[in-house]
Amino acid sequence: MSLLSLFLSHLTMTTNKSNSTQLDLWSMYQKTALPYVRPRTLSDSSILFSKSFTRIIFVRHPFERLASAYVDKIATLSSEPFSIYDNLRRKICRKFPFFYLTSSEQNYYRTFRMVQNQRNEPCDKVIPTFEHFVTHIMFDSSQVDVHWQPYSTLCHACTMKYNFIGKYETIQEDLDLLRVQLGLNTTNWNTKNNFSTGKTKENYKLLYSKLPNHLICNLKHFYQEDFKLFNYQVEDYLIDNQKVQCSSQSLLRVQLGLNTTNWNTKNNFSTGKTKENYKLLYSKLPNHLICNLKHFYQEDFKLFNYQVEDYLIDNQKVQCSSQSYRRFSL
């Protein structure tokens, strides 16, 4: 209880001294204004699961968390001397150089392939797009960060068995309820304006409206446990009438870690007129060569259910005799 009281006192003190309506708990954490206790440092960790121990978690819509992290950490150049997200911005910029850099700037990275992070390099002040940010974190497992890591893994939601789950969207009501349940006197703690999600949500919706379908599907898969556990919906942050259809191909991309944002397969794998051209090629082959090919690829035809006739001109007949195969073997 003393730990929670200390947290609330720091929070109240920060709120009262600041003219801003925004609370930056991450900054408070970085500056060690709040104690951080790891379960493994406790002399008796079983207390975490006892009935007398209150396990509290406040959650936020996954899409709100991700968009907020992008706006606060990626889309804003830090005024601090150094930000841990500077390197991430540079890394994303280097991954999509044709989008952000001129030819001469691209040559910089060709010349210095092992370039160290420098404040004067071409990617230093580049702010990546939301799409490129999402693409990067979806397909680079090393970029899991507490600001967008699913609660299901970050907070061990299933293991800890929290007995109080509050939500950012209803945080004022939930905090009031928690205060009553814990018997805490925080009557001077006014959070009315500190957790507003008014126009911000509409701005976040615009960010997601610009993402391609497969990235939305990847995010849906990435946060699927959080959606289930805390009763959130993907549609909560989609523009009205925006439809998302997730196919097995979309999920396969994220499972395999394939970065295919700029890979437009709409026309790349078309078999329209090309197939007809191929048919013309085979129509000019003599019968015994078609038979030899049929024999050569016989296992592939069986295993993957293809037919020789798929690439023969209509009414083109192939008759394969033992003599035809003998030619092949010779």
**Structural domain includes residue 312:** yes
CB 68 within 8 A of CB 197: no
**Structural domain includes residue 223:** yes
**Structural domain includes residue 41:** no
143 or 124, greater pLDDT? 124
**Structural domain includes residue 60:** no
**Structural domain includes residue 234:** yes
Q: For residue 93, is pLDDT > 80?
A: yes
| Lowest pLDDT segment from 62-76, 81-95, 133-147, 243-257 | 243-257
Structure tokens at 207: 């960010």
Residue 116 to residue 28: CA distance in whole angstroms: 30
**Structural domain includes residue 52:** no
Q: For residue 259, is pLDDT > 60?
A: no
Question: What are the phi and psi torsion angles at 56 (to 5°)?
Answer: -115, 140
Percentage, residues of the chain above pLDDT 70: 67
The residue range of the domain holding 290 is 274-329
Confidence of residue 12 (pLDDT cuts 50, 70, 90): very low
Final residue belonging to a domain, choices 206, 225, 256: 256
Supply the pLDDT for residue 16: 46
**Structural domain includes residue 204:** yes
Global pTM value: 0.65
B/e letters for 50-61, b = 16+ CB within 10 Å, e = fewer, are eeeeeeebbbbb
**Where is 174: in which H helix or E strand?**
helix 171-182
With 0-12 CB in 10 A as exposed, 13-18 as middle and 19+ as buried, what is 134?
buried
**Structural domain includes residue 107:** no
Residues 282 and 323 both lie in one domain: yes
Instruction: Tally the domains of the chain.
Output: 2
